[in-house]
């Protein structure tokens, strides 16, 4: 049986009403806590359908399940300068990005709470994922996006029947417009950045990576980082696996940012404990990670450090090169995902891991979108 769940502010050490999207006291991010620690009964898991729900004993208690299949995504070897790395093909999820893992749990949670209408802000992939799962759940969704987001992503959001509200100006303007609207109309904010259920869903990415290698952790995992949800999902997921005695250690977590918007990179290499908002963000093709700072910035920095990982910044020229290099290896990914190509090259030059190290690069979003 999945465990009971409650919401909690780690900074205030206080319970939080589950209708809040962040702590009303300190404005910090809320976490989801379960009454039982996650377990991974391997024989039971293996006997279940190959989707994210197979880790039932590690998922929060949900009365309803909103699902579009969410398959285990392939882990495919590829070569870079004679080194063999592994691509985790998250772009093959139902809406073409890893965000379906979080959106499936979040939509399940909202439907279980009899929510009929919600709002979300997104530069694209999260909006599309939530729109699809809202459609599946019969939930009315309004999505606030920057007007400059990829036309392909906006078309996808519309296709699922969500109402799109384009907002002119930089990314944070979309959030401001949403908060104003949500407060005025008392509609829940189904935030992929703030809502704790979203990261709970991303944890299944770590569970899958372990299971796909006979319940062992890879040596390192590289992922694009803007808000930090993949990285924190991996961190918390692998922590669950270690706590349960299922894997021996967490992998080195390597955050890859666009050099044009790289606040985490700056904070990490300055030895800071929190992340200052990017001072002069410049336009980048990696639009999905062009965020001024991660929501859970302290935890993200601490996760990278605790794992023995690092933060890498990639130039626009090398993002472009990554799109082509990955494409010529059969991976059709969006520019945001392509940062991992040069991220891998830089990481291999600095990390002392040996030639047979297992390094996973997360390919987060499909190239047909952008």
Residue 333 φ/ψ, nearest 5 degrees: -120, 160
Taking the least distance from each CB to Zn ion, the nearer of 12 and 72 is: 12
Sheet order of strands, 252-258 included = 75-80, 83-89, 359-363, 220-224, 252-258, 310-314
Q: In terms of residues, how long is the chain?
A: 370
Stated as kind and residue range, the H or E segment containing 257 is strand 252-258
19 binds Zn ion (CB under 5 A): no
Per-residue string for binding with Zn ion, 156-195, x by CB under 5 A? ----------------------------------------
Q: Residues 230-266, buried b or exposed e (16+ Cβ, 10 A)?
A: bbbbbbbbbbbbeeeebbeebbbbbbbbbbbbbbbbb
Least spacing, CB of residue 26 vs Zn ion, in Å: 3
Taking the least distance from each CB to Zn ion, the nearer of 29 and 311 is: 29
Residues 21-40 that bind Zn ion (CB under 5 A): 23, 25-26, 28
Least spacing, CB of residue 17 vs Zn ion, in Å: 12
Of 9-17, 81-89, 107-115, 331-339, which part binds Zn ion (CB under 5 A)? 9-17
Q: How far is it, in rounded angstroms, from Cα 95 to Cα 133?
A: 9
Size of the site for Zn ion (CB under 5 A): 7
Taking the least distance from each CB to Zn ion, the nearer of 20 and 56 is: 20
- Contact at 8 Å (CB) between 40 and 57? yes
Taking the least distance from each CB to Zn ion, the nearer of 25 and 84 is: 25
Taking the least distance from each CB to Zn ion, the nearer of 197 and 286 is: 197
Of 10-18, 107-115, 193-201, 219-227, which part binds Zn ion (CB under 5 A)? 10-18
- Contact at 8 Å (CB) between 149 and 124? yes
Taking the least distance from each CB to Zn ion, the nearer of 28 and 152 is: 28
- Within 10 A of 42 (CB to CB), how many other CB atoms are there? 11
Taking the least distance from each CB to Zn ion, the nearer of 26 and 155 is: 26
Taking the least distance from each CB to Zn ion, the nearer of 195 and 265 is: 195
Helix (H, G, I), strand (E, B) or coil at 95: coil
Of 18-26, 174-182, 236-244, 362-370, which part binds Zn ion (CB under 5 A)? 18-26
Helix (H, G, I), strand (E, B) or coil at 80: strand
Of 11-19, 134-142, 193-201, 229-237, which part binds Zn ion (CB under 5 A)? 11-19
9 binds Zn ion (CB under 5 A): yes
Least spacing, CB of residue 241 vs Zn ion, in Å: 28
Of 4-12, 49-57, 87-95, 119-127, which part binds Zn ion (CB under 5 A)? 4-12
**Interacting residue with Zn ion among 2, 8, 12, 20 (CB under 5 A):** 12
Residue matched to tokens 């379960």: 34
**Interacting residue with Zn ion among 2, 8, 11, 181 (CB under 5 A):** 11
Least spacing, CB of residue 8 vs Zn ion, in Å: 9
Of 8-16, 161-169, 229-237, 295-303, which part binds Zn ion (CB under 5 A)? 8-16
- Within 10 A of 302 (CB to CB), how many other CB atoms are there? 14
Sheet order of strands, 140-146 included = 117-121, 140-146, 163-167
Taking the least distance from each CB to Zn ion, the nearer of 12 and 164 is: 12
Q: How far is it, in rounded angstroms, from Cα 253 to Cα 265?
A: 13
Q: Cα dist. 65→14, 61, 70, 114, 320 in Å?
A: 28, 10, 12, 13, 39
Q: How far is it, in rounded angstroms, from Cα 282 to Cα 333?
A: 22
- Binding residues for Zn ion, per CB under 5 A? 9, 11-12, 23, 25-26, 28
């Amino acid at each position: 049986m999945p465990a009971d769940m409650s919401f909690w502010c780690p900074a205030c050490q206080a319970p939080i009403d589950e209708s809040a999207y962040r702590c009303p006291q300190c404005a910090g991010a809320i976490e989801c806590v379960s009454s039982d620690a996650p377990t991974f009964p391997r024989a039971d898991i293996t006997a279940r359908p190959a989707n994210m729900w197979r880790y039932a004993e590690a998922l929060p208690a949900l009365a309803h399940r909103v699902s579009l299949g969410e398959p285990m995504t392939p882990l495919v070897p590829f070569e870079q300068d004679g080194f063999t790395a592994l691509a985790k093909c998250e772009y093959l999820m139902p809406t073409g990005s890893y965000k379906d893992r979080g959106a499936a749990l979040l939509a399940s949670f909202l439907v279980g709470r009899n929510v009929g209408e919600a709002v979300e802000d997104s530069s694209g992939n999260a909006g599309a994922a939530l729109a699809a799962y809202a459609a599946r759940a019969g939930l009315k969704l309004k999505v606030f996006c920057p007007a400059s987001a990829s036309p392909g992503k906006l078309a996808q959001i519309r296709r699922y029947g969500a109402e799109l509200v384009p907002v002119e100006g930089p990314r944070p303007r979309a959030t401001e417009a949403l908060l104003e609207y949500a407060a005025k109309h008392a509609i829940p904010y189904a935030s992929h950045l703030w809502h704790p259920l979203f990261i709970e869903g991303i944890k299944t990415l770590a569970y899958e990576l372990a299971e796909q290698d006979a319940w062992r952790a890879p040596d390192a995992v590289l992922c694009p980082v803007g808000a930090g949800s993949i990285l924190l999902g991996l961190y918390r997921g692998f922590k669950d696996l270690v706590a349960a005695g299922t894997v021996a250690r967490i992998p080195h977590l390597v955050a890859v940012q666009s050099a044009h918007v790289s606040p985490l990179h700056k904070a990490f290499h300055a030895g800071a404990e929190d992340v200052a908002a990017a001072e002069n963000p410049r336009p980048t093709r990696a639009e999905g990670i062009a965020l001024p700072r991660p929501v859970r910035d302290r935890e993200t920095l601490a996760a990278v450090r605790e794992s023995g990982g690092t933060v890498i910044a990639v130039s626009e020229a090398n993002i472009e090169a990554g799109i082509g290099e990955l494409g010529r290896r059969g991976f059709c990914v969006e520019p945001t995902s392509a940062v991992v190509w040069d991220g891998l090259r830089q990481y291999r030059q600095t990390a002392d891991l040996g030639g047979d190290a297992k390094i996973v690069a997360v390919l987060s979003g499909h190239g047909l979108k952008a």
